[in-house]
Amino acid sequence: MRRLRGRLIQPLVREHVVSKADLVAPLFVDETAAAPVPIASLPGQFRYPAGGIARAVQDLRAKGIYAVLLFGIPAAKDPGASEAFNPDGIVQQAVRSIKEALPDMVVITDVCACEYTDHGHCGILTDGPGGPDLDNDRSLDLMARIAVSHARAGADIVAPSCMLDGMVAAIRGALDHEGFTDTAIMSYSTKFASALYGPFREAADSGYTCGDRSTYQINPANRREAVRESELDAGEGADILMVKPAGFYLDLVAAIRTIGLPVAAYQVSGEYAMIKAAAARGWIDERNVVMESLLCIKRAGADLIITYFAGDAAGWLDEEQ
């Protein structure tokens, strides 16, 4: 086996390669920010003001990143997440600003309510036998309204992350009804009730005040259920399927690739924070670990990798040329 591991020959037989076109950069837009605000639990990441988001995206584009995923933090929250579908809401402003500055940048928007509700859950709450819980069917209309408002602002892809039954069908129907037949849906189709989302909740101000999200996100123990979720979303009209988190769930990335649609994998905030923390202590080499992690996500079958390391990885890829 070592005959093909010689340094001159290795590049000829390399099976997988990460490219800049694989990478999507998540960005946070904060309606209350006057300047970029550092996120303590995500070193190197910021909450950007609406007026500064286009500059941040231009910097990414200059590095060769062609797609961003936007999360909004509104100035006001309420039980019905009304700011999420406000035509002049923070994400809607950001989309218009980016598209005006960079019309050929791919803009993806997170379609959810956790940042916009005062209780922090991903839709409308109802009283259940075990306490407050997400009202699935009442929340579908909310997601449809959010998605349409994002498409109207100019989003190329909407990405529902609420894990509601029927969310893709509801959004596809609403988009088509409003004439946005070319707006694609990247569904968070296999999203686990993971312990790795903690830094994101600080970044997006999306912590919940009661209960948890285990009644609508997937139990990490359940592989068959995870595959079934993506199969259902594919049947409802999803254009891209997603596995979230990425690194702990590469078996699901590989399984969901067999469905036949493009697959995205989200290297989430906890994955980013762990690498950053270990690197800061000198325990690992940040660059090598990041690039290995991205390569392994690609090897498992991901077509797109959503990662907070996108900008850094683009620079490292340039250095490898």
pLDDT at 278 > cutoff 80: yes
Q: What is the mean pLDDT of residues 241-247?
A: 98
Confidence class of residue 131 from pLDDT cuts 50, 70 and 90? low
Confidence class of residue 130 from pLDDT cuts 50, 70 and 90? low
Q: What is the pLDDT of residues 4-50, one digit of tens each?
A: 999 999 999 999 999 999 999 999 999 999 999 999 999 999 999 99
pLDDT at 228 > cutoff 70: yes
Is 63 marked active-site? Answer: no
- Give the active site residue among 20, 63, 77, 244: 244
Q: What is the mean pLDDT of residues 251-275?
A: 98
pLDDT at 210 > cutoff 60: no
- The amino acid that residue 166 corresponds to is G
pLDDT at 287 > cutoff 90: yes
Confidence class of residue 196 from pLDDT cuts 50, 70 and 90? very high
pLDDT on residue 80: 86
pLDDT on residue 125: 80
Q: What is the mean pLDDT of residues 122-150?
A: 85
Percent of the chain with pLDDT over 90: 82
Q: Identify whether the C-beta of residue 249 lies closer than 8 Å to the C-beta of residue 243.
A: yes
pLDDT on residue 215: 78
Measured over the CA atoms of residue 127, residue 132, residue 137 and residue 138, the dihedral's sign is positive
- What is the DSSP annotation of 27-91? EEEETT-SS-EE-TTSTT-EEEPGGGHHHHHHHHHHHT--EEEEEEE-S---TT-GGGG-TTSHH
Is 77 marked active-site? Answer: no
Q: What is the mean pLDDT of residues 165-169?
A: 96
- What is the DSSP annotation of 181-210? TT-EEEEEEEEB--STTHHHHHHHT---SS
pLDDT at 320 > cutoff 80: yes
pTM of the full structure: 0.94
- What is the DSSP annotation of 9-30? TGGGG------GGGEEEEEEEE
CATH label, 20-320, candidates 3.60.20.10, 3.20.20.70, 3.40.190.10, 3.40.50.11540: 3.20.20.70
Q: What is the pLDDT of residues 54-65, one digit of tens each?
A: 999 999 999 999
- Give the active site residue among 77, 99, 191, 298: 191
Residue 159, beta-bridge partner list: 110
247-250: which pairs have CB atoms within 8 A and are 24 or more residues apart? 247/271, 247/293, 247/296, 247/297, 248/194, 248/196, 248/220, 249/190, 249/192, 249/220, 250/296, 250/297, 250/300
Q: Identify whether the C-beta of residue 150 lies closer than 8 Å to the C-beta of residue 179.
A: no
pLDDT at 177 > cutoff 60: yes
Q: What is the mean pLDDT of residues 98-115?
A: 95
